[in-house]
């Protein structure tokens, strides 16, 4: 799990809940045209942070990916953050409770009170993934959305095959591009 945050000054996004092995693949897809989203990319664990610069309809966005294992230092990236992308492994039911707790911690962080938040349920390409109805129920997503101070959007994605990533790009453009 990892958080993503967007910096107001540099339009930088922190991606805190992206499973580390999916980060290079998702960043690769984010930086590609829709026609090029089918090529495979090997995955590897994220150590430290990764920065990916994107140009979305002539607007510049920098995505800062921070590995889930770095959860204790996520708050050091929240200052001046404009947006957060929080990615959850929808194919790992054992991770749901920990992901939900981390999401609640992110949403309750004072510096992120006005940040827009995108929650991505990833790995929908796997046969064992939980449906959106199941995972939203486990997260009690309706309660989270109604109680959160932030504007929250929810999408399903596959970093492997690119499903849903155009919707992510649209969200980035709408919420982060300057």
What mean pLDDT do residues 93-120 have?
93
Task: Give me the domain span that covers residue 88.
Answer: 2-37+55-175
pLDDT above 60: residue 92: yes
% of the chain with per-residue pLDDT over 70: 72
Q: What integer pLDDT is reported at residue 26 of this predicted model?
A: 55
50 is in an annotated binding site: no
46 is in an annotated binding site: yes
Q: C-alpha distances in angstroms, 94 versus 45, 90, 129?
A: 19, 10, 12
Q: How many domains does the chain have?
A: 1
The mean pLDDT value of the chain amounts to 79
pTM score: 0.77
Q: Where is pLDDT greater, at 78 or 10?
A: 78
Asked whether residue 135 is assigned to any structural domain, the reply reads: yes
122 is in an annotated binding site: yes
Q: What integer pLDDT is reported at residue 47 of this predicted model?
A: 62
15 is in an annotated binding site: no
In this structure, what CATH number is given to the domain that contains residue 114?
Answer: 3.40.50.300
123 is in an annotated binding site: yes
Please, what's the b/e burial string for 108-146 (b: 16 or more CB within 10 A of its CB; e: otherwise)? ebeebeebbbbbbbbbbeeeebbeeeebbeebebeebbe
Asked whether residue 43 is assigned to any structural domain, the reply reads: no
């Amino acid at each position: 799990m990892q958080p993503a945050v967007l910096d107001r000054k540099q339009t930088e996004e922190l991606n805190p809940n992206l499973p580390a092995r999916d980060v290079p693949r998702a960043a690769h897809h984010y930086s590609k045209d829709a026609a090029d989203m089918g090529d495979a990319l090997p995955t590897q664990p994220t150590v430290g942070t990764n920065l990916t610069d994107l140009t979305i309809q002539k607007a510049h966005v920098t995505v800062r990916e921070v590995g889930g294992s770095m959860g204790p230092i996520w708050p050091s990236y929240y200052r001046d953050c404009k947006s957060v992308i929080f990615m959850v492994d929808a194919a790992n039911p054992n991770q749901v409770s920990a992901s939900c707790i981390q999401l609640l911690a992110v949403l309750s962080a004072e510096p992120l009170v006005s940040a827009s938040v995108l929650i991505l349920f990833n790995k929908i390409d796997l046969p064992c993934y939980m449906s959106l109805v199941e995972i939203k129920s486990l997260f009690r997503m309706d309660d989270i959305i109604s109680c959160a101070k932030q504007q929250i959007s929810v999408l399903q994605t596959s970093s492997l095959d690119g499903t849903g990533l155009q919707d992510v790009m649209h969200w980035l453009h709408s919420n982060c591009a300057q």
